[in-house]
Amino acid sequence: MSEKIVFFEAKDWEREKFVRGMERKILTDFDDVEVEFIPMPLREDTASAFSETTVAVIYLNSIITDKVINHLPKLKYLITRTTGIDHIDVLSCHKRGIQVSNVPYYASVTVAEHVFALIFALARRMRLNFEKMQRFDFSREGLLGFDLYGKTLGVIGTGNIGSHLCRIGYGIGMKVIAYDINPSQELIERYGVSYVSLETLLSEADVITVMVPYYPKTHHLINFENIKLVKPKAMLINAARGPVVDTLALIWALENGRLQGGVALDVFEGERALLDLSYLKESLPQEVAQRALLTLHLLKFPHVIFTPHIAYYTEEAMDRLIDWIIADLKHYLQYKSSKVHFESYF
């Protein structure tokens, strides 16, 4: 049986690297394989044009719903070039016999390093620093920072990325506390991590990092009720998924003297509407539009910084991702099964 593999949301540089890798490891070993690269995402309004697709390699802005799947009668395998899978209706895929896999480990260290870049940026007031320098203002007003050594790092979710956060925090002399339903004995023994309740972590941590996947059970894990527990001078960093943190609760905290250490977000509610112009051309659900506007409202606070969902985005991580995808595709073509199925790591 011939296979048609379609890469969606493919950038030119990705295409070049994928083509080189597939020529070496796939196209020379398998007959009847057709490969196509598409710059647009796979969504309901585009899916019907790809009805012959048997393997779809998607990215973050490809929203896979039951209606999308209806347009893809030959689809057997869906790979997302992400760790998170909240853009995929996995249950509908499984009901249709479609295998689903992700790329779980390619950017664990990469994301952890980015989180600490954000932590350092908040601790040393880098946003205000840059703004003052652009005005040729060399005064020190508002730039008093604080040391991280000796402070308490709180890690919410100690999966692959969270584990690296614990390691880095320990390495710079921070006390590390964590919340996870599956405590890691290795982290306890190697880095002195103390596992505590979520409430205790929020009330004791000077630096709060959110590193859990997004599922219904983690929706607004940080909310109005528990954000009241944080220290006035604490900081919060979210590089997991936007809806894990309630934006309205963040605004309340900032307006009421909490989180004076700052807030750094690499992910945020209403993210797709802000990062993908095509969404703004559609009729957005009111909730999505509201959350996007609330997210923009956060920028009025001088100690809030954003990055546009790039925590994973380094040359090394992209190379690892491409290598993983190619190996996974080869495994599927050989055995008609995926190399890895995603699993919850919270």
Same domain, 51 and 101: yes
What range defines the domain where residue 23 resides?
Answer: 3-106+315-335
Distance CA 137, CA 285 (A): 43
Q: Is 241 annotated in the active site?
A: yes
Question: Residue 308 pLDDT > 80, yes or no?
Answer: yes
* Residue 162: how many other CB atoms lie within 10 Å: 29
Asked if 124 and 147 touch (Cβ cutoff 8 Å), the reply is no
Nearest to residue 154, comparing CAs of 179, 181, 188? 179
Tens digits of residue pLDDT in 152-191: 999 999 999 999 999 999 999 999 999 999 999 999 999 9
Q: In percent, how much of the chain has pLDDT > 90?
A: 77
Give the mean pLDDT of 267-282: 74
* Residue 342 forms part of a structural domain: no
Same domain, 129 and 275: yes
Three-point CA angle 269, 271, 272, nearest 5°: 135
* Residue 84 forms part of a structural domain: yes
Asked if 51 and 42 touch (Cβ cutoff 8 Å), the reply is no
Same domain, 61 and 8: yes
Same domain, 88 and 117: no
Catalytic residue (one of 164, 241, 272, 320) = 241
* Residue 341 forms part of a structural domain: no
Tens digits of residue pLDDT in 100-119: 999 988 999 999 999 999 99
Domains held by the chain: number: 2
Distance CA 53, CA 183 (A): 41
Q: Quick one: how far is CA 67 from the chain centroid?
A: 25
Same domain, 46 and 76: yes
* Residue 344 forms part of a structural domain: no
Q: Are strands 152-156 and 207-210 parallel, antiparallel or unpaired?
A: parallel
Same domain, 155 and 99: no
Same domain, 290 and 321: no
Asked if 92 and 66 touch (Cβ cutoff 8 Å), the reply is yes
Catalytic residue (one of 71, 272, 309, 320) = 309
Rg value, the chain, Cα = 22
* Residue 192 forms part of a structural domain: yes
Catalytic residue (one of 87, 271, 272, 291) = 271
* Cα atoms in the 13 Å half-sphere on the side-chain side of 149: 1
Q: Cβ contacts of residue 61 below 8 Å, gap of 6+?
A: 9, 41, 43, 87, 272, 275, 276, 278
Same domain, 117 and 170: yes
Q: List the CATH number of the domain containing 46.
A: 3.40.50.720
* Residue 343 forms part of a structural domain: no
List Cα–Cα distances, 73 to 77, 125, 143, in angstroms. 12, 53, 58
Same domain, 70 and 178: no
Same domain, 67 and 115: no
Same domain, 97 and 224: no
* Residue 18 forms part of a structural domain: yes
| Residue located via tokens 């112009």 | 277
Q: Is 271 annotated in the active site?
A: yes
Same domain, 112 and 248: yes
Q: What is the pTM of this model?
A: 0.91
Q: Are strands 55-58 and 3-7 parallel, antiparallel or unpaired?
A: parallel
* Residue 240 forms part of a structural domain: yes
